[in-house]
Amino acid sequence: MSYKQHLLDSMEKEVMIIKHLYTKIPNADLSYRPAENMRTALELLQYMAWCGDAMVAASVSEDAEKSMRELILPYRDEAQKIQTGDDFLAAMDQQYQNIDTLMTNITDEDLVNKEAMFPWGEKAPLGFVIMNSAFKYLAAYRMQLFLYAKMAGNTEINTMNCWLGKDYVPPKKTA
C-alpha cells in the first residue's frame, strides 16, 4: 500500500469516527457550550466540516497568486451554512470526497518531495504538511467532540467510541 493511500485511509477513518461521535451528543443539542468562552457544539461541527479538505486544498494548490486565506475561505463559508446534524453528516461525507478528489493526481513522490506551505508560512514536504495540518486537525477536533459529548452528559461513551468510532459491547459471559 502506498503512503498516499495510508494518508487517505487515515483521514477517512477520522471522518467516520467524527460522524459516529456526533451521534453521541445527548439529544443532538448543538447549542451545548462547555464554557462561556468556548465554541458551541454547532460551531465546533461547522469548523470540523472544513478543517480537513480546506487544508488539503491549500496544500496542493498550484495557484501561487492566492494566499492561504483565499484558498480556505470558500470551504469555511460553505461550512457556516450547517445548521443541523443531517447537514453536518452530509458535509463530513463531502469533506472526505473533496480530500480524495484533491489528492487524485498526487503521487507518493509528490508527498515526499513536493514543497508545500503551512498556514503559518513554514515550508515542508507536501505529505508532512498534510499530515501535520489536515490529518491532525481532524484527529484533534475529533477528541474535542468526544469531550463535548461526555461533558454534555453522555456517560455511556468511552475509549472505543473515541478511537474506533464504535460502541463498546461487553464480552458475553460463558457458562
In this predicted model, what pLDDT tens digit does every residue of 105-124 receive, in sequence order?
A: 999 999 999 999 888 889 99
pLDDT computed for residue 149 by the predictor: 96
pLDDT computed for residue 28 by the predictor: 79
Q: What is the mean pLDDT of residues 41-68?
A: 89
pLDDT computed for residue 93 by the predictor: 97
- Whole-number Å distance between alpha carbons of 73 and 69: 6
Architecture of domain 3-164: Up-down Bundle (1.20)
In this predicted model, what pLDDT tens digit does every residue of 140-165 receive, in sequence order?
A: 999 999 999 999 999 999 999 999 99
pLDDT computed for residue 64 by the predictor: 65
For 80, how many CA atoms within 13 A lie in the half-sphere containing its CB? 6
Specify burial of residue 159 (Cβ count, 10 A radius: 0-12, 13-18, 19+).
Answer: exposed
State percent of the chain over pLDDT 70. 99
pLDDT computed for residue 70 by the predictor: 85
CA angle, 6 then 80 then 94, to 5°: 35
Q: What is the mean pLDDT of residues 16-32?
A: 93
SS3 124: strand
Residues in contact with 158: Cβ distance below 8 Å, sequence separation at least 6, in sequence order = 168
CA angle, 117 then 118 then 120, to 5°: 120
